[in-house]
């Protein structure tokens, strides 16, 4: 049975719909990430779970109990906000323990809980400092400690790392993941950063304009995107999405990609589904991630369906562990991810290997995945 269940949830402000028919389930101890561009409704959905926003219709259940209509204090949740919202006149210990003090928890019990949480977050040496004496990462740990000390059924995080610099974001992301493995508490986490979503989540919900685009594991979202929006949004660099034609080839279907400098590139595709076969003679959107397009020596030898094609290299970008090469196919720039020592140069034609096991196809009109 799901621990947190959201069923047919709608949220409107007056006549303006914000969330439309949201259906999500997460198991106990799961890490659900709500991701999407600004204004997609992810923070509103988090606030609905928290009880900070009333829902228009639908159901929210935590551990089998409906919480729709319950006050936030009755939902057994704890929230960590984007802003740390620490009391500047209190010490770290005072900030962490303030909620318990308000609820009348005895002092000895408070101190024991504060000490345990501070040790978990490795801030026990900061308990007597004020927020003004802390770094951004330390303040965020204190905000997390204030939530942890409540030992809730569900933790809610609203873009908690967005105020931190790039390196600290990576460090804190690791800390949050380590904390989740240790505590095994159910977490709902909002971010617009798809790297955070991929690295932290056990399940991801991708939203756009208040509509759930796809819900699944990070691998499902990344490898089998439900539509072109998810394919483009998830992944860095983004998936290459190219106009192609499906045609008969020597031993089955082929994918034809226009090249600016010659005949179309024909990629024999052995693993075509019956649904893709229905597009023979028609245009489709061919999606392939940069790491599935590489130099032949770096290609995946286990791929069941692969092909090579000669492409004119327009840009080469060394990136340490990888080299990125940009060519033009299907009327668009295409990014290939090559080995760091790949022998490739601007202005020359080079063979690139396409791992067609990793290819996905979309209908140009509906933008939904084919097959």
pLDDT tens digits for the chain (371 residues)? 689 999 999 999 999 999 999 999 999 999 999 999 999 999 999 999 999 999 999 999 999 999 988 999 899 999 988 787 889 999 999 999 998 888 888 999 999 999 999 988 889 999 999 999 998 888 988 998 998 888 899 999 999 888 888 888 888 898 889 889 988 999 999 999 999 999 999 999 999 999 999 999 999 999 999 999 999 999 988 999 999 999 987 777 899 999 987 789 999 887 666 788 889 999 999 999 999 999 998 888 888 888 999 999 999 999 989 999 999 999 999 999 999 988 899 999 999 999 999 999 999 999 999 97
Rounded CA separation 268/307 (Å): 7
Residue 59 confidence (pLDDT)? 96
CATH hierarchy code of domain 240-370: 2.40.50.140
Please, is 149 exposed, middle or buried when counting C-beta atoms within 10 Å of its C-beta (0-12, 13-18, 19+)? buried
Distances (CA, A) of 73 to 79, 117, 201, 217, 251: 11, 21, 26, 31, 64
Q: What is the DSSP string of 224-256?
A: S-SBHHHHHHSSSSPPEEEEEEEEEETTEEEEE
Residue 271 confidence (pLDDT)? 67
Range list for CATH 2.40.50.140 in the chain: 240-370
Residue 73 confidence (pLDDT)? 87
Please, is 268 exposed, middle or buried when counting C-beta atoms within 10 Å of its C-beta (0-12, 13-18, 19+)? middle
Range list for CATH 3.40.50.300 in the chain: 4-233
Is the model's pTM score more than 0.85? yes
Q: What is the DSSP string of 196-220?
A: HHHHH-SEEEEEETTEEEEEE-HHH
Angle, to 10 degrees, between the axis of helix 136-148 and the axis of helix 166-183?
20
CA angle 120, 126, 129 (to 5 degrees): 145
Residues 4-233: name the CATH superfamily: P-loop containing nucleotide triphosphate hydrolases (3.40.50.300)
Residue 1 confidence (pLDDT)? 66
Q: What is the DSSP string of 289-321?
A: -GGGEE-GGGS-TT-SSEEEEEEE--EEEE-SS
Phi, psi of 38 (to 5 degrees): -55, 135
Residue 243 confidence (pLDDT)? 96
């Amino acid at each position: 049975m799901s621990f947190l269940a959201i069923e047919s949830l709608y949220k409107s402000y007056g006549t303006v719909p914000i969330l439309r028919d949201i259906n999500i389930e997460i198991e106990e101890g799961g890490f659900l990430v709500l991701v999407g561009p600004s204004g997609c409704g992810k923070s509103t959905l988090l606030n609905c779970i928290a009880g900070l926003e009333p829902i228009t219709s639908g159901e929210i259940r935590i551990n089998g109990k409906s919480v729709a209509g319950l006050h936030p204090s009755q939902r057994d949740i704890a929230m960590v906000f984007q802003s740390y919202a620490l009391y500047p006149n209190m010490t770290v210990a005072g900030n962490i323990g303030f909620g318990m003090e308000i609820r009348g928890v005895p002092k000895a019990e408070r101190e024991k809980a504060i000490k345990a949480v501070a040790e978990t977050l490795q801030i026990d040496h900061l308990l007597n400092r004020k927020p003004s004496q802390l770094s951004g990462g330390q303040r965020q740990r204190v905000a997390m400690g204030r939530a942890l000390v409540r030992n809730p059924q569900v933790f809610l995080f609203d873009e908690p790392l967005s105020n931190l610099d790039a390196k600290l974001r990576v460090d804190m992301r690791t800390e949050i993941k380590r904390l989740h493995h240790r505590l095994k508490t159910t977490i709902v986490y909002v971010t617009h950063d798809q790297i955070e979503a991929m690295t932290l989540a056990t399940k991801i919900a991708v939203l756009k304009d208040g509509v759930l685009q796809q819900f699944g594991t990070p691998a499902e979202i990344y490898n089998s995107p439900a539509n072109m929006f998810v394919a483009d949004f998830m992944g860095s660099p983004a998936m290459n999405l190219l106009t192609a034609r499906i045609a008969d080839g020597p031993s089955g279907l082929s994918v034809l990609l226009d090249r600016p400098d010659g005949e179309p590139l024909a990629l024999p595709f052995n693993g075509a589904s019956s649904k893709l076969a229905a597009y023979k003679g028609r245009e489709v959107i061919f999606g392939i991630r940069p790491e599935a397009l590489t130099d032949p020596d770096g290609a995946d030898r286990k791929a069941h369906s692969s092909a090579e094609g000669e492409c004119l290299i327009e840009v080469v970008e060394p990136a340490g562990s990888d080299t990125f090469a940009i060519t033009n196919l299907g009327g668009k720039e295409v990014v290939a991810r090559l080995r760091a020592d790949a022998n490739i140069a601007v202005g020359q034609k080079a063979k690139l290997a396409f791992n067609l096991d990793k290819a996905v196809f979309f209908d140009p009109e509906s933008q939904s995945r084919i097959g």
